[in-house]
Structure 1
Amino acid sequence: MTLKNRISLLVSLLFTILFGLASTVIFVLYSNFRKEEFRDRLEIKALSNIKLLVNVKEVDNQLLKLIDQNSINKLYDEKTLVFDSHYKLIYSSIDDAKINWSINDLKYLKKHKTFFKQQGNYEVYGVFYDTKDKDFYALISATDDYGKRKLLFLRYTLIISYLFFTCICWILTSFMVKKAMSPLGIFHQKIKNINVNNLDTRIETKSNKNEIDLIANEFNFMMDRIEISYQKQKEFTANTSHELRTPLSRITSQIENTITDSTTSEKGKNFLKTILADVNQLTELINSLLILSKIDIKNQDDDEVHRMDEILFSAIENLNKSFPDFVILFEIQENENLDTALEIKGNKNLLEIALSNILKNACVYSDTKQAKVKISTENEQLIISVSNSGNTLSENEQKNLFQPFMRGANSKGTVGFGLGLRIVNRILTLHNVQITYSVPEPNTNLFQLFFH
């Protein structure tokens, strides 16, 4: 689970739990308040009936019933019972509701003065009233229909509010966290796209108080140091390679002059030719390292448009000059989008070096010293395919094909340093071109270049 989803989940769960607890507490408190309020109403009604019976001589049972029936404070399904000190019923309201009572209840009242309990749907309140002459007991029961309707309304209101605001919270939390974490997404994408060709990538920051900006500042500082170190490494490689070319050129020239000298013995000439071959290999290695050190330095003509067929023809022509025994078979798959697809922005010299290395590699490792080149398009995308017949690479060798100094089992007996395809990969990466290797048929090597 991503950090963004984890934060959204935690915040939403916290809100859901807290809102649920708050709703429960509100409902419980209101339920208790309703009971206390109804209890007070029952107490007032019970005491008022007793006082009318005891203190007002003109009030008899029938009149009290009439007063009770027309009272503005009449309760729903109300039933009132009044007893004297001998537990004799002296008053009963005219309602049909019943109160389950016993002598023990009245004795309990005398001892504890009041009680309040639930009997089915009815709530019963009992009170003991003590006068100078007599003692009275009153039991009153009723249902708080109005209060229970309000409690039911509150319950549904809290449930609907809980469900509604919980959903709103989950949606808004997900949106806000996504918005707040969007800089991290940009941060991640930029880090993901960093390679040796764009070490100048930096993260834009707005303030030093934001934690993400603090990380971005440290990241930019780290990239500054990496870029400086990498530039120094490239400069050292380029300078060293350049300095080594001069003495190697002199050595080559002196060996060639000595070989052509008539006074040199045949044995000496053969020995010098062996040394010259080694010097030429060393020169080629230095030239490859020099190219690698300069590959990611973008020139001013990187945005110029070039036709890849012309660059390919130039690469084939240069290859034929160096290796006249190599044969390149050429094929173009004609279609209406070909002319547009062939126009590519980039560095002409670097692209020609990449194609030359691929063609040379195909011919050198071919059983017949020939390679087949095919230009085609797919969905307006230019594809250059280079294939040959010869020993193929194993799956493990294919994984490291574009690593420096990597040479497969099929390279035995072939001169090289394993830098050619590394140079190709660096150049094509610089131009946003994808290169793949596959074995479509037995003893068939296929390189494909996809120009985006």
Structure 2
Amino acid sequence: MKIRTALTLKYTCITATIFLLCTVLVYLISEQTRDQTFFRNLKSEAITKANLFLANQVDAKTMQSVYLNNKKFINEVEVAVYTTNFNMLYHDAIHNDIVKENQAMINDILQKREIEFHIGKYQGIGMVYPYQGKNYIVTAAAYDGYGYDNLFGLQETLIILFIVGLSLLFIAGYFLARITLRPISHIANEAESITVSHIDRRLAVKNKNDELGELCIAFNALLDRLESSFNSQKAFVSNVSHELRTPLAALTAEVDVSLQKERTNEQYRLAMLNMQQDAKRMTRLVDGLLNLAKADYCKEDISMREVRLDELLLDVRELILRAHADYSVELLFCNDEDDDDRLITTIGNPYLLNIAFTNLIENNCKYSANHSSIVQISFRGNWSVVRMSDNGLGMSADDKKHLFTLFYRGGNSTAAEGYGIGMTLAQKIIHLHGGNIAVHSEQGRGTSFVVELKHVAK
């Protein structure tokens, strides 16, 4: 069922229920009003006839004759007059006797002074009527034909109004739902036009303050993220293909040259060394791409624990020196012995943090003349701070701007081998841990990386 149909039915059902309750309430109030009005009319008629009889203005036979004659054409009121000791003085039609008075009724009238009651479709009253110092019991009963005819006419009118009103409500609800949901149809049509080849299209926001405007804004924001991710994926695939093509081409060329003719052992050995170097380059590139993929995980998918940055950096230093014997890494601990170790302890993943700091320190060593890096560990406020500095070539303003762009190689890229992955990977890992990373560099005066990670101390 479409939302338009569901809204129409719900709107119709709710309004129909309210409409039905209102019509029933009108009918019940009308019935109550008719009932009370007829009781007052009975009382008035009873007093009139009783007064005529007791004052001897009209004799009993005449009154009974008038009653019987009128009864043929109208719903005449049947009146009876009794003494307080239940002696009947007058009755309009004793043979018909609607009320059928008894001693219990007379006693009830004497006690309450006035009663109202129903006898089937008839209404009746009983009252104490004082006349010339004496009390009399007067009863009256009749059928409210005129009132019931009006009530039946009202009932028919209300039923017709309910049916007509319900039909109009359904039609109005359908068109109201159609008009209300028409913008959603437009949004759906616009969304269908957004394809891979036209992912830059966006939904038009007509009113940013209503719900549909908020929906369009949220959808456009989603499209922005998807477009960014899609473009990043295309760039990633393109760059990876390009980066892998070079070592693969070199490796293939070495194999082809080696197979062209017989060569000496030394020549084969040299060819194998070149192929080994190309294979290692590919391995480092693939490792960097895998680590980059891990850095794109959600924080909730990565195991975190307390990590002491001083111990982590000692491990990083040992790892770098083992791989590069000519590198020099100096660690400086700026906190005193009495300071809390938790000030340089953060919550993180040791493996990823190891990769990030290794890339940053190796970058210092690569581009400095003496292949050295000075690493300082300190804290400031809620942050543990690691500063890695070198006295190397430095970077231009343009290189600093694109330093963390994937596969970007700066103007001094010829000074050292690399693939443009390490800086991007380091930034992703630091941001994944809720930290900050900044670079300060001037050409000819070296480069400094400053990493801030929240510590666990309160």
Q: CA deviation at 1:125?
A: 1.8
Q: Are 1:25 and 2:25 matched, yes or no?
A: yes
Q: Show CA shifts across 1:305-325 (max 9, x none).
A: xxxxxxxxxxxxxxxxxxxxx
Which residue number corresponds to residue 89 of structure 2? Answer: 90
Which secondary structure does the structure 2 equivalent of 1:197 belong to? helix
Q: CA deviation at 1:247?
A: 6.3
Question: Does the 8 A contact of 1:46 with 1:127 survive in 2?
Answer: no
Name the CA shift for 1:61/1:89 in 2 (closer, same or farther; >3 Å): same
**Which residue identity does 1:112 align to in structure 2?**
K
Which residue number corresponds to residue 216 of structure 1? Answer: 216
Which residue number corresponds to residue 164 of structure 2? Answer: 164
Q: Which moved more, 1:201-210 or 1:89-98?
A: 89-98
Question: Does the 8 A contact of 1:77 with 1:95 survive in 2?
Answer: no
**Which residue identity does 1:216 align to in structure 2?**
C
Q: CA deviation at 1:153?
A: 1.6
Which secondary structure does the structure 2 equivalent of 1:127 belong to? strand
Name the CA shift for 1:67/1:184 in 2 (closer, same or farther; >3 Å): same
Which secondary structure does the structure 1 equivalent of 2:13 belong to? helix
Output the aligned Cα RMSD: 4.1
Structure 2, gaps ≥5 residues long? 283-458
Structure 1: distance between partners of 2:67 and 2:228 = 99
Structure 1: distance between partners of 2:237 and 2:74 = 101
**Which residue identity does 1:128 align to in structure 2?**
V
Structure 2: distance between partners of 1:243 and 1:103 = 117
Which residue number corresponds to residue 376 of structure 2? Answer: none
Q: Are 1:118 and 2:118 matched, yes or no?
A: yes
Question: Does the 8 A contact of 1:84 with 1:134 survive in 2?
Answer: no
Which residue number corresponds to residue 102 of structure 2? Answer: 102
Which secondary structure does the structure 2 equivalent of 1:181 belong to? helix
Q: CA deviation at 1:52?
A: 2.4
Structure 2: distance between partners of 1:104 and 1:75 = 31
Q: CA deviation at 1:37?
A: 0.7
Give percent identity, aligned residues only. Answer: 22
Tell me which stretches of 4 or more aligned residues in structure 1 moved more than 6 Å: 66-71, 261-265
Question: Does the 8 A contact of 1:122 with 1:141 survive in 2?
Answer: yes
Structure 2: distance between partners of 1:175 and 1:23 = 25
Which secondary structure does the structure 1 equivalent of 2:117 belong to? strand
Which secondary structure does the structure 1 equivalent of 2:241 belong to? helix
Please give the residue correspondences for 1:298-309 in structure 2 after superposition, counting only pairs within 5 Å.
none
Which residue number corresponds to residue 80 of structure 1? Answer: 79
Q: Show CA shifts across 1:98-143 (max 9, x none).
A: 3222233222222212222222332222221023432222222211
Structure 2: distance between partners of 1:95 and 1:61 = 12
Question: Does the 8 A contact of 2:84 with 2:106 survive in 1?
Answer: no
Structure 2: distance between partners of 1:120 and 1:254 = 116
> How many corresponding residue pairs?
276
Name the CA shift for 1:78/1:126 in 2 (closer, same or farther; >3 Å): same
Structure 2: distance between partners of 1:150 and 1:230 = 76
Which residue number corresponds to residue 372 of structure 1? Answer: none
Which residue number corresponds to residue 155 of structure 1? Answer: 155
Which residue number corresponds to residue 144 of structure 1? Answer: 144
Q: Show CA shifts across 1:242-289 (max 9, x none).
A: 455566656666765665578789x97xx99xx9xx99xx9xxxxxxx
Question: Does the 8 A contact of 2:45 with 2:77 survive in 1?
Answer: no
Question: Does the 8 A contact of 1:126 with 1:140 survive in 2?
Answer: yes
Structure 1: distance between partners of 2:208 and 2:198 = 25
**Which residue identity does 2:18 align to in structure 1?**
L
**Which residue identity does 1:98 align to in structure 2?**
D
Which residue number corresponds to residue 228 of structure 1? Answer: 228
Question: Does the 8 A contact of 1:50 with 1:136 survive in 2?
Answer: no
Q: Show CA shifts across 1:43-65 (max 9, x none).
A: 0000111222334x544334545
Which secondary structure does the structure 1 equivalent of 2:146 belong to? helix
Q: CA deviation at 1:223?
A: 0.8
Q: Which moved more, 1:227-236 or 1:251-260?
A: 251-260
Structure 1: distance between partners of 2:189 and 2:125 = 73
Q: Which moved more, 1:34-43 or 1:171-180?
A: 171-180
Question: Does the 8 A contact of 1:258 with 1:264 survive in 2?
Answer: no
Question: Does the 8 A contact of 2:42 with 2:77 survive in 1?
Answer: no
Structure 2: distance between partners of 1:52 and 1:139 = 15
Which residue number corresponds to residue 202 of structure 2? Answer: 202
Question: Does the 8 A contact of 2:67 with 2:76 survive in 1?
Answer: no
Structure 2: distance between partners of 1:94 and 1:13 = 53
Structure 2: distance between partners of 1:194 and 1:30 = 62
Structure 2: distance between partners of 1:158 and 1:49 = 38
**TM-score with structure 2 setting the length:** 0.50
Q: CA deviation at 1:80?
A: 1.6
Which residue number corresponds to residue 39 of structure 1? Answer: 39
Please give the residue correspondences for 1:286-365 in structure 2 after superposition, counting only pairs within 5 Å.
none
Q: CA deviation at 1:161?
A: 2.6
Which residue number corresponds to residue 49 of structure 2? Answer: 49
Which secondary structure does the structure 1 equivalent of 2:176 belong to? helix
Q: CA deviation at 1:36?
A: 0.5
Q: CA deviation at 1:68?
A: 6.4
Q: CA deviation at 1:10?
A: 3.3
Structure 1: distance between partners of 2:48 and 2:177 = 62
